[in-house]
Chain A
Amino acid sequence: MRLALPPPRSIRRRLILQLLVVAALLAMLLYFSIRSVARDAVETTQDSVLGAATTAIAEQLRGSVDGVEIDILYSAFSMLGSISEDRVFYRIIVADQTVTGYEDLPVPTETAPLLTPIYYTRNFRDTQVRIAAVIRAILVGRTSVRVQVLVAQTRQGQEAIVATMANRGAALGLGFFAVAALLSLLTANTALRPLNYIAGAVGRRGPQDLRPVTQEAPSEMVPLITSLNGFIARLRGALSRTETFITEAAHHIRTPLATVRAQAEIALRQTEDADTRQTLHRMIRAIEDSSRSASQLLDHATVVYRTDQRANERFDLGDLLRGVVRSLDPTADLKDLILATSLPDDALTIEGDRLLIESALRNLIDNAIKYSPADNRIGISLIRANESAMITITDDGRGIGSLATGDLVGRFKRGGNVADVVGSGLGLTIVDEVATAHGGTLDLQNREGGGTCVRFSLPLL
């Protein structure tokens, strides 16, 4: 079962995004500061030239007995032409009256000491102009007259210079951003490398590997690894407690059952009373039933657990089959059943979980012994069939009636003709699950003339 997880939030993506935002902000800051520095520098240059020109014109003014002599110093305007092709305006105000120049050129809103230029920017005739204003006092006769000189210049040239420098700033900002983006990518990858390394090391582990993580990690990841190791330890503890519990439970249930069974057998030996004997028989059968079910449930749990584990090894199937037959021989012998085994001379190597396959074979042969009448023969053969190793087990028992393989392998499903034989209905489930887990097949059929033929095949290596 898979849990529906929220869409993963990538640390790497977030890290890169944050670094990029910072880089973009820095790039913009760079652009704006270059532009503002450029503007300041250009303005200062223009101001000083404007101021010098204005002062020069103001200083050319001469007072006479009846007025002010105005002698425009045209060289002063040529100073202005040296910085750009911008238009120049002027206005000279003597005692609040414009005597020459543009009457509408705005005057400054503040006053300044004499002969000290003040600068301001105004809109004039649909364009922005930078204006320098200088005030001078001139003696006309005996009266001191206030003379104001204004010189203005449009700012196109200045704007062009600022724009050029701002463009360079923008290019520099973009370049900075590109380098920063590249670096942030590298940084994100480097920063996340230990995380990926440890994730890989844990991911590659076998399923039974519950050792703590010991890979070296940067100090920031130590809390994560510590809690991961804590979790692994708790998991290991839980698994071992479960195992201990099952062992203890099996011990505490099976030991008294064994006592009851032994006592029942003893009692059976000591009585001739038919009713008592029947009771004891039933008791022993019930004990066999419960102990068999317990075994099969445990085996089934083991099969399910180990199927997930895939503890694969290579081995000779003939060897394994020989061992299983040998261990079941005494059981078969009790019913005078002969386990007639025919094995190939050469090894049939398969790859799989040895214990699971042993469990499957044991179940199949055990079934054949259970359902065979006494004094019979159970045929067990192993052959190579194309790319498979095929084990065939034949008995002279009651067969499987009208059922198909699929009907018999379900959990707790038993044939309709076996009510008198002790069984849990899990044996064939185990065999089928083992076959499926190994890419093999299980097939049960009635034999002509009675009995069952079971074919269990596993792919050869």
Chain B
Amino acid sequence: MRFLLVEDNVDLGQSVQKRLAMDGHAVDWAQDLHSAQDHLGVASYDLILLDIMLPDGDGRDFLAGHRRAQRDTPVIVMTARSAVSDRVALLDIGADDYITKPFDFAELEARCRAVLRRRGGAAQTRQAFADVIFDPLSATLTIDGDTRELRNRELRLFEILVAAPGRIHSKAQLCDRLFSFAETVTDNAIEVYVGRLRKKLVGSRARIETVRGVGYRLTDG
């Protein structure tokens, strides 16, 4: 996905940009509202991640202006406040969703996906690997015209694997990305999801290989 990140805090901006890039997203980063407008003038984005307190104005005014101008790029507000009244006010002025800092990137992605799905989605998010067509937005795998639905964790697991085919992912790495840090899980918990995904891939050339003692990788054939 292509993001426009509007955040004035340099450390946080860099971290978010780097972290999203690790998951294969393209992130343009604007440090104020003025530069955000410039970016929106020359490029199109799947999503805008908007901070509220910015050096040259209030993110909420920007959001209201954005909606008044009939631009329909979805906006997720990153708010540092969590007061109930605030959340409702954000949705009222046209935010598609909001996420409270500090946030879990898995949750951010889930919210982005939910927003894009609600908005009817962009078709270019589809990916092909071997004879599998993967649509993360509708959470489906299509093999030979046969469409299979993925549960959320299966979807995220496949997304991780398909982003770097052939690369070996350790169980620990996969666990970090599939489970919330609030949960206590053993590395073996990942086996359940690998097993399920393998079932969904039955009949295709794509295979999830176990590399004994190291982890898993996605291979073609």
A residues apposed to B, CB below 8 Å? 247, 250-251, 253-263, 265-266, 268-269, 272, 274, 277, 281, 284-285, 287-288, 291, 294-295, 298-299, 302, 327, 329-331, 333-336, 354-356, 358-359, 370, 374-375, 420-422
Contacts and interface: CB of A to CB of B under 8 A. Distances in A.
A279 B103 CA distance: 19
Given A288-B102, A302-B83, A335-B152, 10 more contacts: A266-B18, A269-B176, A299-B82, A299-B83, A330-B114, A331-B110, A334-B153, A336-B151, A355-B84, A374-B153
28 contacts: A247-B53, A247-B80, A250-B81, A254-B80, A255-B12, A255-B80, A255-B101, A256-B12, A257-B101, A258-B101, A259-B15, A268-B176, A272-B170, A272-B172, A272-B173, A277-B172, A329-B114, A330-B113, A330-B114, A331-B107, A333-B114, A334-B106, A334-B152, A335-B183, A336-B151, A374-B153, A421-B182, A422-B182
B194 to A, nearest CB: 14
Contacts of B9: 255-256, 259
Contacts of B16: 258, 262
Nearest to B181: A284
Nearest to B23: A269
A315 B141 CA distance: 42
A261 B103 contact: yes
B102 A291 contact: yes
A285 B181 CA distance: 6
B88 to A, nearest CB: 6
Interface of A is mostly: helix
Contacts of A253: 80
Contacts of B105: 262, 265
A356 B84 contact: yes
A258 B102 contact: yes
Interface of B: 9, 11-12, 15-16, 18-19, 22, 53, 78, 80-85, 88, 97, 100-107, 110-111, 113-114, 151-153, 170, 172-173, 176, 180-184
B22 A269 contact: yes
Contacts of A261: 102-104
Given A255-B12, A331-B107, A262 B83 contact: no
Q: Max chain B CB contacts within 10 Å: which of A261, A263, A375?
A: A261
A330 B107 CA distance: 7
Contacts of A259: 9, 11-12, 15, 102
A336 B180 CA distance: 12
A288 B183 CA distance: 12
Contacts of A274: 172
Given A251-B53, A255-B9, A269-B173, A295 B181 contact: no
Contacts of A331: 107, 110
Nearest to A421: B182
A329 B118 CA distance: 12
Contacts of A356: 84
Given A330-B111, A355-B88, A262 B82 contact: no
A260 B102 contact: yes
A331 B99 CA distance: 11
B82 A258 contact: no
Nearest to B182: A422
B180 A334 contact: yes
A336 B82 contact: no
A127 B97 CA distance: 111
Contacts of A287: 102
Contacts of B110: 330-331, 333-334
Contacts of B114: 329-330, 333
B15 A250 contact: no
A344 B98 CA distance: 28
A254 B102 contact: yes
Contacts of B104: 261, 288
Contacts of B153: 334-336, 374
Contacts of A265: 19, 105, 176
Contact of B100 (A284, A295, A374, A421): A295
